[in-house]
C-alpha cells in the first residue's frame, strides 16, 4: 500500500510541524460545502478562536486565504502599497528579504533596510532610514525564522507610525505560540499561517485586517483577485473564504483551535513556548563550543538557532540530520542561504531547533539529549 514505508518522524524543524493525534484524526471528519450551513459550523468558531488567540484586538477581523503565509504577504503588498507609495522592507533575515522580493516582483517602489543575521531591528538605524526614505508603508518580520530573532513589534510600529507610515507585520512563525501584540502595535495587517505555532498542516494564510487597511486598499489599483483584501474581506464577513478551502484542513483547524482556546488555554500555550525557549537556552550552555545565535533579549519562543564550533561544516550538519533520522527525528540543519554565506567568509554554519506548536517541554528535552550526543560524536 502507498504510504506503508513513509517514516514516522518527530519534526523538530521550523514548519511544517509535528501534529497532535487528535488533529491527524480530524482529517477524517466529513467534507462539506463551503457555501452551505455546514461551513458556518466550522468557520464561526474558527474565526472566534483566532480572535481569542490574537488577544481580541479591537477593530480587527480575521481573514483566511487559500495558500500559505506567502500568499498573505503577497496580498498585503498588492492591496496596501499603491503605485505612488514607497515601501520600506525591513529585514533581519531570509523572510524579511522575502517580503522585499514580493514588493519588487509586484512592481512596487521598494527599498530595503537590512540588519545582520542574528540581530534585531536597531531602533536608531530604523529612525534614520525613516527620515531618509520617508516611506508610506513599512514591512517587517515579527519572528525571523531563519535566525530565531523575535522583533519588538510594538516598539517598531511606534517608530513607523511616528514618521507617518503604516506598518505591515509578518507573524508567520510565531502566531499561536506567543502574543501577537496586534492590539498594541496596530498594524495595517498582521499575516500568519497554519503550519507553524498553531500546530496544523500548511494550507491557509491567516491575516488580521482593520478598517484603516480597507480604506487604504480602496486607493490601490490592480489589487489582483485572490490578493485583493477587499474581496477577501467581503467573504470573511460571511465567515467564508473567497475561493474553495481545503475542507480537511478546515476540520482540523476547527478541532485544533478549540483545543488551544478551551483545553490548553492561550496563556498556558504561550507559557509553554517560553519554557521551551529557556530549555533550549540552557542546553546551549551545556554544549562546548556551541553558542546561541540570536541576540539576547530577542530570542524567539518558538525556535532557537545555534552557532556551531569551527569544526562543524554544512556537510557535517547533513550527516547529523541523517543520524537524527535514525533516532526518529527530523533535524533542521539551518537556513541554506545563510549557511552558504557564512561558509563563503570561512565561518561555521548555524542550525535550528523548532519548538513550536504542540511540542512539549519533555519532548524537547529528550530531543536535545539525543542531539547533544550526536553532535558530540563530531569534533
Ligand X SMILES: Cc1ncc(COP(=O)(O)O)c(C=O)c1O
> How many residues sit close enough to ligand X to count as binding (CB under 6 A)?
12
303-307 vs 291-292, strand pairing mode? antiparallel
Nearer to ligand X, 172 or 374 (CB): 172
In whole angstroms, how close is the CB of 352 to ligand X at the nearest point? Answer: 11
Of 32, 55, 50, give the one whose Cα is nearest residue 236: 50
Nearer to ligand X, 141 or 348 (CB): 141
Stretch that binds ligand X, among 4-12, 67-75, 81-89, 116-124 (CB under 6 A): 67-75
- 120 lines the binding site for ligand X (CB under 6 A): no
> Is the backbone of residue 90 left (phi > 0), alpha (psi -120 to 50) or beta?
beta
**Cβ-closest position to ligand X:** 69
d(CA 14, CA 23): 18
Nearer to ligand X, 90 or 375 (CB): 90
3-class SS of residue 193: strand
Q: Where in 73-112 is the site for ligand X (CB under 6 A)? A: 95, 98
Length of the chain: 379
3-class SS of residue 31: coil
Crossing angle of helices 361-376/314-326, nearest 10°?
120
- 70 lines the binding site for ligand X (CB under 6 A): yes
d(CA 93, CA 365): 27
Q: Is 124 exposed, middle or buried (0-12, 13-18, 19+ CB in 10 A)?
A: exposed
Nearer to ligand X, 141 or 241 (CB): 141
In whole angstroms, how close is the CB of 14 to ligand X at the nearest point? Answer: 6
In whole angstroms, how close is the CB of 376 to ligand X at the nearest point? Answer: 29
- 173 lines the binding site for ligand X (CB under 6 A): yes
- 176 lines the binding site for ligand X (CB under 6 A): no
Judged by the rule CB under 6 A, the positions of this chain that interact with ligand X are: 15, 68-70, 95, 98, 141, 145, 170, 172-173, 193
Amino acid at each position: 500500500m502507498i504510504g506503508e514505508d513513509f517514516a514516522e518522524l518527530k519534526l523538530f524543524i521550523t514548519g511544517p510541524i509535528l501534529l497532535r493525534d487528535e488533529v491527524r484524526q480530524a482529517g477524517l471528519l466529513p467534507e462539506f460545502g463551503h457555501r452551505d450551513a455546514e461551513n458556518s459550523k466550522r468557520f464561526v468558531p474558527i474565526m472566534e478562536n483566532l480572535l481569542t488567540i490574537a488577544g481580541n484586538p479591537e477593530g480587527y477581523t480575521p481573514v483566511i486565504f487559500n495558500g500559505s503565509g506567502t500568499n498573505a504577504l503577497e496580498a498585503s503588498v498588492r492591496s496596501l502599497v499603491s503605485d505612488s507609495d514607497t515601501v520600506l522592507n525591513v529585514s533581519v533575515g531570509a523572510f524579511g528579504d522575502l517580503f522585499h522580493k514580493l514588493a519588487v516582483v509586484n512592481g512596487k517602489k521598494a527599498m530595503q533596510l537590512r540588519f545582520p543575521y542574528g540581530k534585531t531591528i536597531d531602533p536608531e538605524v530604523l529612525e534614520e532610514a525613516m527620515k531618509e526614505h520617508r516611506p508610506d508603508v513599512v514591512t517587517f518580520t515579527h519572528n525571523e525564522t531563519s535566525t530565531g530573532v523575535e522583533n519588538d513589534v510594538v516598539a517598531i510600529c511606534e517608530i513607523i507610525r511616528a514618521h507617518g507610515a503604516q506598518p505591515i507585520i509578518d507573524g508567520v512563525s510565531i502566531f499561536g505560540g506567543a502574543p501577537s501584540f496586534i492590539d498594541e502595535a496596530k498594524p495595517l495587517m498582521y499575516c500568519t499561517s497554519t503550519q507553524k505555532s498553531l500546530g496544523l498542516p500548511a494550507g491557509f494564510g491567516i491575516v488580521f485586517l482593520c478598517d484603516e487597511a480597507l480604506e487604504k486598499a480602496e486607493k490601490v489599483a490592480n489589487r489582483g483577485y485572490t490578493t485583493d483584501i477587499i474581496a477577501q474581506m467581503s467573504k470573511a464577513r460571511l465567515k467564508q473564504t473567497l475561493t474553495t478551502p481545503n475542507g480537511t484542513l478546515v476540520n482540523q483547524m476547527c478541532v485544533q483551535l478549540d483545543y488551544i482556546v478551551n483545553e490548553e488555554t492561550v496563556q498556558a500555550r504561550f507559557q509553554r513556548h517560553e519554557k521551551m525557549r529557556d530549555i533550549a537556552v540552557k542546553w546551549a550552555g551545556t554544549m562546548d563550543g556551541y553558542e546561541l545565535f540570536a541576540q539576547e533579549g530577542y530570542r524567539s519562543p518558538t525556535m532557537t538557532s545555534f552557532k556551531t564550533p569551527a569544526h562543524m561544516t554544512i556537510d557535517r550538519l547533513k550527516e547529523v540530520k541523517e543520524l537524527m533520522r535514525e533516532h526518529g527525528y527530523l533535524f533542521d540543519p539551518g537556513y541554506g542561504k545563510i549557511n552558504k554565506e557564512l561558509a563563503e567568509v570561512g565561518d561555521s554554519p548555524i542550525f535550528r531547533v523548532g519548538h513550536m506548536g504542540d511540542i512539549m517541554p519533555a519532548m524537547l528535552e529528550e530531543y536535545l539529549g539525543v542531539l547533544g550526543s550526536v553532535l558530540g560524536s563530531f569534533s
